[in-house]
Amino acid sequence: NAGVTQTPKFQVLKTGQSMTLQCAQDMNHNSMYWYRQDPGMGLRLIYYSASEGTTDKGEVPNGYNVSRLNKREFSLRLESAAPSQTSVYFCASSEVGRGLTLHFGNGTRLTVT
Amino acid sequence: EDQVTQSPEALRLQEGESSSLNCSYTVSGLRGLFWYRQDPGKGPEFLFTLYSAGEEKEKERLKATLTKKESFLHITAPKPEDSATYLCAVISSGSARQLTFGSGTQLTVLP
């Protein structure tokens, strides 16, 4: 019963490098999300995908791109990493409905030096 | 703009010492208020959803309540395993799928 799986768990990048964070869910959920969590600021939405084939910007999309590869997978790409992108990144999924209950992965801790 | 403020930022309790966490919110048309628990190094885990003022939900030692301006998470006779950060989030009628999260209350229960 894996739920939401994120890879990698940890990553260190130098300024200007690129990388892709991977996320997969096995709950057959339609919607998927990428959040970042910074101390004292709470979780902030970067991008979301309401359903396969669609993506929308969240609160803090600048510097990121996403791809909804299929119903299971939603990736987050940093094209040119900056120190301000040092954070913990969480992927989540949800079913369509009134409650919007999010199921989170265990995060990727990214440090940009 | 939706806003969520949680207090206190940190709370230390003795085992068995009941208390409450507060979540104050400002939204234009509340669609739902959520409580999550987050353990160190893990993703948030869903606890409750509340939809309207006066609603209450319970799970083991936790009880969540909702008014028109705030929500409380009451912890009765806590145990050390209740130690975690508790997050509150809201979604409003104008925010599509965007939850607004508070910054959390870090709860430590001492044996």
pLDDT at B1 over 80: yes
Residue-wise pLDDT tens digits, A67-104: 999 999 999 999 999 999 999 999 999 987 656 789 99
Contact between A107 and B43 using a beta-carbon 8 Å cutoff: yes
What pLDDT does A22 receive?
Answer: 97
Mapping DSSP to helix (H, G, I), strand (E, B) and coil, where does residue B80 land?
A: helix
The confidence score (pLDDT) of residue B95 equals 76
Q: What is the pLDDT of residues A1-26, one digit of tens each?
A: 679 999 999 999 999 999 999 999 99
Taken in order A63, B104, B31, B43, is the CA torsion positive or negative?
positive
Of A90, A102, A105, which is closest to B46 when you measure between CB atoms? A102
Cβ separation of A98 and B31 shorter than 8 Å?
Answer: yes
**How far is B33 from A84, CA to CA, in rounded Å?**
30
Distance CA B51, CA B105 (A): 21
CB of B43 less than 8 A from some CB of A: yes
Split at pLDDT 50, 70, 90, the class of A40 is: confident
Residue B111: pLDDT band (50, 70, 90) is: very high
How many CB atoms are located within 10 Å of the residue B41 CB?
10
Q: Is A58 on the interface with B (CB under 8 A)?
A: yes
Instruction: Tell whether the model's pLDDT for residue B94 goes beyond 80.
Output: no
Torsion angle of the four alpha carbons B74, B60, A26, A59, in this order, in degrees rounded to the nearest 10 = 0
Q: Is the pLDDT of residue A32 over 70?
A: yes
Q: Per residue in B51-63, is it b (16+ CB within 10 Å) or e — as a string?
A: eeeeeeeeeeebb
Long-range residue pairs from A43-51, CB within 8 A, at least 24 positions apart, any chain: A43/A90, A43/B44, A43/B87, A43/B89, A43/B99, A43/B101, A44/B101, A45/B98, A45/B99, A46/A76, A46/A89, A47/A76, A48/B97, A48/B98, A49/A74, A50/A96, A50/B97, A51/A96
Q: State which residue of chain A sits closest to B5, comparing Cα positions.
A: A42
- Residue B107 burial by Cβ neighbours in a 10 Å radius (0-12, 13-18, 19+): buried
Q: What is the pLDDT of residue A95?
A: 84
What's the rounded mean pLDDT across residues B79-105?
A: 92
Average pLDDT of the residues in A26-41: 93
User: Is the Cβ pair A101, B34 closer than 8 Å?
Assistant: yes
Report the C-alpha gap between A26 and A92 in whole angstroms: 12
Q: Which has the closest alpha carbon to A56: A70, A41, A45, A42? A: A45
Q: How many angstroms separate the CA atoms of B82 and A113, rounded?
A: 35
User: Closest to A104 (Cβ–Cβ): which among B41, B44, B103?
Assistant: B44
Dihedrals φ, ψ of B81, to 5°? -70, -10
B26 within 8 A of B90, measured Cβ to Cβ: no
| Site from A27, A38, A41, A100 to mutate, B interface, most B CB atoms within 10 angstroms | A100
Over residues B26-85, the pLDDT tens digits come to 998 899 999 999 999 999 999 999 999 999 999 999 999 999 999 999 999 999 999 999
Q: Check residue A67 and give its pLDDT.
A: 97
The answer for residues whose C-beta is within 8 angstroms of residue A79's C-beta and 6 or more apart is: A18, A63, A65
